[in-house]
Structure 1
Amino acid sequence: MKIIDINSIPRKQNTTQKIAHSEREKIAFSIKRRKRRIYIISLLVIVLSSSLSGWHFYQEKKDIKAQNDSFQAVYYFEAEDFNKALEGDGMHKGLLEVVKSYPYTKTANLLNLYIGVAYMHQKAYDKALQFLNRSHFKDLILQARAWCVMGDVYSEQGNHKQAATYYMKAAHYKTNSVYSPGYLVKAAIAFESVNQYKDAYHCYQEIVEKFPESHYGNDIALKEASRLSALL
């Protein structure tokens, strides 16, 4: 009789073994897919970081060029020769050309404020607002100053209610005893121009309470608050 090797006989996998094998395959596939996803994300992070570094370096170079190109125009601005400041003098670029040549730079952002002020002095109020709206700052002085200039533009247009809104934004932006009282006075004058005496009174009262040591605190604000209280 022929002896049969039982190990050579194919064995039929039971259901439990099939399920276990299937689960192992799923886990292995899931791990492989997760590793691939992590690799892709890591690669994207590296690419984006390199791109951002390159972009910042490129912007810094443009910013330096913008500063150099705007030097003469800023000189004209400070001399209140606003036409040459805006348009240039034939040899040097004006502020408008510099901003157009170097958009998205820090210098262009600042020059938008200069352009807005220049247009305001030229009574081109719509253009002034257009450029003032393009300037955005995070520091103590410039953002409040930009809003104050917008208030001045609206005031020149006779829109005193809107002017008061921007003066108040300026006054309450990173509040300080150097600039905030002056913005509050401007707001009070604008409010009074549209007969909003209560709002004007509160502006002066705020100066008295929060900034008593300021230029306006002990004299002007007290007198004006007293005068307006009689109208309430």
Structure 2
Amino acid sequence: MATYKKRGYKPKKEKVVEEVIEETFDESQSDVAKTFDGLDEVANKSEQWIEKNSKPLFIGLVGVAALILVYLAYNKFVSEPNEVNAANELAYPRSFFDQAEKAAGEKADSLYTLGLKGGADGKYGFLDIAKSFGGTKAGNLANYYAGITYLRQKDYKNAISYLSDFDSDDELLGPTALGAIGDAFADINQTKEALEYYEKAATKKSNEFTTPMFLFKAGQTAMKLGEYDKALNHFTAIKEKYATTQIGRDIDKYLNSAKYAK
């Protein structure tokens, strides 16, 4: 005998699935509600904290704003004018330095001294500028010129001191200052220190003027110290990277000297 399903009848399995879905939906709604409740609680606590600490926060913001204004004012009314004044002062001793570089003998020495110490009319020399405008670019440059001047005058101690106070990433001045310190050490027979600074000068900035020059000086100094492998490395670097420079064109004989000396 045939049997028929009654209208509206749902299998037990489908009913269970529906119940699970309803429970999951209810749980999801509950989780969402809890999340929003948690957010509300955090927001309320944040508001309470801000209300409680509004005065210290305001004072802190005012302090930060004041510091920014002080910094801007310092740059505008102190730092920038100081830079301009220092640059203007530096022009005077530099003129003597430039003249001395083209002169010789006592005349050159007198011009170097004027550049170093300034004029009798109260004009600053390199030493004054380095001391009075130490935080400026011109003050930094004054250290360089003072160091080179002392090197020319064979005052090696002061040359090393002032050149060590000079700091620059300029492609030429940076390596030249380090190389000049090497020259000063070489002239007082502190050969190891000279080699150290020649190597620093050679690696400070790569260019076809200072790099091969100080690699060559480093190589020659290493030869004096009997460090032939190091000398060979420096001469090889010149041959491989700077063969077209004046130093590079004659480097083979120095390379061979280092090879045969090993």
The alpha carbon displacement at 1:139 in A equals 2.1
The alpha carbon displacement at 1:162 in A equals 0.8
Q: Pick the structure with greater CA Rg.
A: 2
Question: What does 1:14-33 align with in structure 2 at a 5 Å threshold?
Answer: 27-32=46-51
Alignment partners' CA distance in 1, 2:162 and 2:55:
48
Alignment partners' CA distance in 2, 1:141 and 1:33:
59
Alignment partners' CA distance in 2, 1:23 and 1:49:
33
For residue 69 of structure 1, what is the aligned residue in structure 2? 89
Classify the secondary structure of the residue corresponding to 1:230.
helix
After superposition, the C-alpha distances for 1:147-204 in whole angstroms (9 at most, x for unaligned) are 1111111111111111111111111112122321111011112111212121111111
The alpha carbon displacement at 1:228 in A equals 1.0
The alpha carbon displacement at 1:120 in A equals 1.4
Aligned CA distance change for structure 1 residues 191 and 36 (closer, same or farther; 3 Å)? farther
For residue 8 of structure 2, what is the aligned residue in structure 1? none
Alignment partners' CA distance in 1, 2:51 and 2:151:
64
Alignment partners' CA distance in 1, 2:126 and 2:252:
42
Among candidates 196, 200, 203, match of residue 227 of structure 2: 196
For residue 229 of structure 1, what is the aligned residue in structure 2? 259
Classify the secondary structure of the residue corresponding to 2:261.
coil
- Contact map agreement 2:195 2:218 (CA 8 A) in 1: yes
Classify the secondary structure of the residue corresponding to 1:213.
coil
Question: What does 1:1-232 align with in structure 2 at a 5 Å threshold?
Answer: 27-32=46-51, 39-57=58-76, 58-80=78-100, 81-91=111-121, 92-217=123-248, 219-232=249-262
Where in structure 1 are there 5+ consecutive unaligned residues?
1-21
Moved more, 108-117 or 98-107: 98-107
After superposition, the C-alpha distances for 1:112-171 in whole angstroms (9 at most, x for unaligned) are 000001111222222112111211112212211111111111111111111111111111
Amino acid at match of 1:84: L
The alpha carbon displacement at 1:86 in A equals 0.9
Classify the secondary structure of the residue corresponding to 1:166.
helix
TM-score in terms of structure 1 length:
0.81
Alignment partners' CA distance in 2, 1:46 and 1:24:
27
Classify the secondary structure of the residue corresponding to 1:139.
coil
TM-score in terms of structure 2 length:
0.72
Aligned CA distance change for structure 1 residues 64 and 42 (closer, same or farther; 3 Å)? same
Alignment partners' CA distance in 2, 1:178 and 1:23:
66
The alpha carbon displacement at 1:214 in A equals 1.9
Identity of aligned residues (%): 25
Alignment partners' CA distance in 2, 1:78 and 1:105:
21
Moved more, 87-96 or 179-188: 87-96
Amino acid at match of 1:79: Q
Aligned CA distance change for structure 1 residues 227 and 46 (closer, same or farther; 3 Å)? same
Alignment partners' CA distance in 2, 1:65 and 1:24:
55
The alpha carbon displacement at 1:27 in A equals 4.7
Where in structure 2 are there 5+ consecutive unaligned residues?
1-40, 101-110
Q: Larger helix proportion, structure 1 or 2? A: 2
Alignment partners' CA distance in 2, 1:60 and 1:24:
47
